[in-house]
Amino acid sequence: MSHSAFIALGSNVGNRAGHLHRALDAMSAYAAVEESSHLYETVPILVTEQPLFLNAVCKVSTHLTPAELLAAVKQTEDSLGRRKTVRYGPREIDLDILFYDDSVVETADLTIPHVGIPERDFVLAPLMDLDKELRHPCLGATVRELWERLQAPVPPRVMPIGERLWHWGQGVKVMGILNITPDSFSGDGLAGAPDTVAAALAQAREFVAAGADVLDIGGYSTRPGHSYVDVEDEIGRVVPVTAALHAALEIPLSVDTFRVEVAEKALDAGAAWLNDVSGQRPADQATATALIADTETSRSSLHGPPAPNGMAALSARRRVPLVLMHNRAPLQTGPPAGDPQSGPEKALNDRSQDIVAVVRQGLAAALESARLNGVPRWHRIIDPGIGFGKTPAEHAALISRLDELQALGYPLLFGCSRKGFLGKMAGGAPVDERLPGTIAANSLAVERGAQIVRVHDVRENLQAMRVVDAILAGSRDRPPTAYF
């Protein structure tokens, strides 16, 4: 018989996120990790002179009894190098059983529900992510009610990128675009430069000096009417640039692709972030399925076969963030049969359907695919897919109602930079005159909850976003973390 349990994870020594990821991997030997919370950075309790903690909670299913589960998690702590210190002192990994079905257990070694639940923000905040209506079997109160009684601010949510840590809710993050292509719609493709790597490094240095938080490297233009690019050619564009930037710069690197083969090579070269523009549509179903079969299956495979998606499985296996974009535009995933370019960009054009509802439904499906393939909640980012299969009117509706997508509960990346709908809205502005429109749209998006803007013009957009941040910081009604 399978049982449901909630297990708290914490670490404040060494590579804290790495310890949590290894704990999730180790737990898969005796429990299926069905879902995880966001990740929080919290202050220590009782023994306060020690480093900050990273805390999360995961929901698991297991066939073990409570006593057997306790023995298993303690074995996991030992295997990950937890050392005996003072009570409540620093620790490489800390695993606590919070709930086990609706059972009440009281033994010399184990108390369920955990006694600290009602008074600990670093436990209740993650539980709020997982199940607000979960009822404490002894207190009779739901997690939501316990959280409201605590009257504590939400601890800072964070996202690990390698050994770096991003803090959400502390200012807009700016992603700089590096197009290693000859046919970018924006005219900034670097593939035609005499020395592509040198040109990319020079542009990347400018972006870093301007204050970019992450660089997004793409070797396949997905503009409307884009041409097909062979996999090896895309790898040949992306990988040398990624390796050079990784060696020269201290900034996270993202790879913008819909191909698992390209993404894996880029990660090997130093990328630490996957920007999947496919909308979770497999570019090559056989390749994606083969990748999953070759890599331990998914992280959550014990609770049933995952929906096969190679990019999500790769994100889970390499423990890197994954951007999930809504995309209805056609992608050239193979050599064209006749026409060397993709067909025209398609839009909904059905006023009986609500574009925001359509996008929300598509993103929810992509998020579920990521969950089934084992991507932790703290590594999932949503993108409404501005410029991908939508009309100017649909774009206007999406931007004006972007806050409705925040109900999904994830950080949101917004990428409108220089795109065609801005030119149309501005009365026919050419691509090199769309910076004002880009800043206007980005400002509205951030006001409505976007946490990352993806841009060609880093310096100008960063200055504008700092102004937006300063104005929003003065709003008493705006929560510090908009998607809680």
User: Quick one: CA dihedral 403, 404, 407, 412, positive or negative?
Assistant: negative
For residue 293, pLDDT beyond 70: no
User: Within the chain, which residue ranges are assigned CATH 3.20.20.20?
Assistant: 166-473
Q: What is the pTM of this model?
A: 0.89
For residue 479, pLDDT beyond 90: no
For residue 430, pLDDT beyond 50: yes
d(CA 269, CA 265): 6
Instruction: Tally the residues of the chain.
Output: 484
- List of long-range contacts for 423-426, beta carbons under 8 Å, 24+ apart: 424/392, 425/392, 425/396
Lowest mean pLDDT among 69-78, 121-130, 168-177, 334-343: 334-343
pLDDT band at 332 (very low <50, low <70, confident <90, very high): low
Instruction: Check residue 443 and give its pLDDT.
Output: 97
Does domain 166-473 match CATH 1.10.10.10?
no
Instruction: Check residue 431 and give its pLDDT.
Output: 92
What residues act catalytically?
A: 419, 454
For residue 91, pLDDT beyond 60: yes
In the chain, pLDDT over 70 holds for what percent of residues? 84
Judge contact between 116 and 36, C-beta under 8 A: no
Which CATH superfamily hosts domain 3-155? 7,8-Dihydro-6-hydroxymethylpterin-pyrophosphokinase HPPK (3.30.70.560)
Instruction: Give the pLDDT mean for 179-189.
Output: 68
d(CA 173, CA 170): 9
Instruction: Check residue 355 and give its pLDDT.
Output: 95
pLDDT tens digits, one per residue of 191-235 = 667 799 999 999 999 999 999 999 999 999 776 655 788 999 999
For residue 86, pLDDT beyond 80: no
d(CA 117, CA 131): 14
DSSP conformation letters of 49-98? SSPPEEEEEEEEEESS-HHHHHHHHHHHHHHTT----STT---S-EEEEE
Q: What does the DSSP 8-state code read for residue 480?
A: S
Residue 109 contacts by C-beta under 8 Å, 6 or more apart in sequence?
Answer: 67, 70
d(CA 156, CA 42): 7
User: Within the chain, which residue ranges are assigned CATH 3.30.70.560?
Assistant: 3-155
d(CA 311, CA 441): 29
- Mean pLDDT, the chain, as a whole number? 88
Judge contact between 175 and 212, C-beta under 8 A: yes
